[in-house]
Structure 1
Amino acid sequence: MRIPKAAHTAQPWRIHEFTRDFRIEDVWSFRTPDAGPDDFPVMVKALKTAYDTRKAPAAVNFLFAVRWKLGALLGWDTPKAGLGGRVGSLCDRIPDDLARTANDVIPATDPFSEVYQLDNEAARELGNKTCHTVMHLGWVPTEDGGYELRMAALVKPNGLFGRVYMAGILPFRYLIVYPALTRQWERAWLDFGRPNRHTGDAARGGTAGTE
């Protein structure tokens, strides 16, 4: 579900210290039933497991295939245009206490690079000729006593070209990509997160504590 940008800025995230020159593009929340305060690492692991084992909807795959093809033809995604080239990595801005946390993060196979991961928030980044994007994940208590995942997309467009590009893909993000992402991420929690572990305990016949 899309939520106001103030829902991101109101939280005391560490990410605010390093992204004042980025704009908040999107903020979304994702349902995580049965989640507790210590389950953020469980959720992050579930997302990476789902990415590696589940296929995205055909429409999303088609859009990204077109995007990567255009990038290859027009040189948008070359090393020279990306992190460490045109784009300075966010890793160069963060203090050592945050930088060290990335060493303990389970690697992912998606295009984003790890920046840091704490007990209740994480940041990953992607840079190319169009823009520098930071995907921020946060773990937030809900009114019913549970917790939910929130994702904020922070963007620094590359000049006029980047701004036009971001405006051009906006309808596809809202109509196709984010609805599919919501279903995929919420399903990831149900399949690989805390509820899955509870189901596993029940399947073992409640033998915990009998040994």
Structure 2
Amino acid sequence: MKLPNTAHTARPWRIHEVTRGFLLEDVWALPTPGGPDDFPELVSTMVSDADDGFPQNAPIAVRFLWAARWKIGALLGWDGKAAGFGSRVDRLRDRLPSDLREAARGPDFKDVPFTSVYLLADEWAAEMANRTVHTVMHLSWVPDGSGGHRGQMAVLVKPNGRLGAAYMAAIKPFRTLIVYPALMRSIERDWAARPAARP
């Protein structure tokens, strides 16, 4: 379920300290009910889903959009090394406050271009940069209002000039109407299928 931006901005997340200049694009409540200590499982489930499930197991419309994005990116040179970290932008990891730099970095992805920035007990950030945007995926673990907890995902972006702004505007309807609903269903399936959820 999509949430108002205040669901992210009103909480004292550490990510606020290192994403000044980023735009908060989306905030989503994740269908991942759990207890107060289940956040590590959420992070593990998200990484596993990104590497082995989504978008390979998503509906055909999502797989088509995903493949088209990478094909267009390859043709236009959006995703090469010269378009990302170390050339166009610096990693957030390189400018963390000292206590976050000393915290766990978090798990690595195998098949997606995101890299972990830091991992805390209730907060995890991963980043990606290409010719169009510098993006941060922020996961958190929040009370659900009924005695339990659930995951929350925020997406923050820093578009690269007019190209990045045009790109974000062009993909917004596809992202919110097709990609994210499919992603939520995939997360929900994976969360329900994890060993701790089995009777």
Instruction: Tell me which residue corresponds to 2:134.
Output: 132
Structure 2 distance, partners of 1:97, 1:62, is 42
- Deviations 1:185-205, CA, capped at 9 Å, x for gaps: 111211126313xx2xxxxxx
Structure 2 gaps, min length 5: none
Aligned residue for 2:125, secondary structure, equals strand
Aligned length: 195
- Structure 1 counterpart of 2:40, one-letter code: P
Instruction: Tell me which residue corresponds to 2:13.
Output: 13
Instruction: Tell me which residue corresponds to 1:36.
Output: 35
Q: Is the 8 A contact 2:125 2:137 kept in 1?
A: yes
- Deviations 1:46-104, CA, capped at 9 Å, x for gaps: 2222333323312222111111111111110110110111011111210233223344x
RMSD: 1.4
Say which is worse superposed, 50-59 or 64-73, in terms of deviation. Answer: 50-59
Say which is worse superposed, 168-177 or 54-63, in terms of deviation. Answer: 54-63
Report percent identity of matched pairs: 53
* TM-score when normalising by structure 1: 0.88
Say which is worse superposed, 157-166 or 184-193, in terms of deviation. Answer: 184-193
Q: Is the 8 A contact 1:124 1:136 kept in 2?
A: yes
Structure 2 distance, partners of 1:143, 1:193, is 25
Q: Is the 8 A contact 1:43 1:193 kept in 2?
A: no
> Larger radius of gyration, structure 1 or 2?
1
* TM-score when normalising by structure 2: 0.93
Q: Is the 8 A contact 1:42 1:194 kept in 2?
A: no
- Structure 1 counterpart of 2:65, one-letter code: L
Aligned residue for 2:11, secondary structure, equals coil
Instruction: Tell me which residue corresponds to 1:56.
Output: 57
Structure 1 gaps, min length 5: 200-211
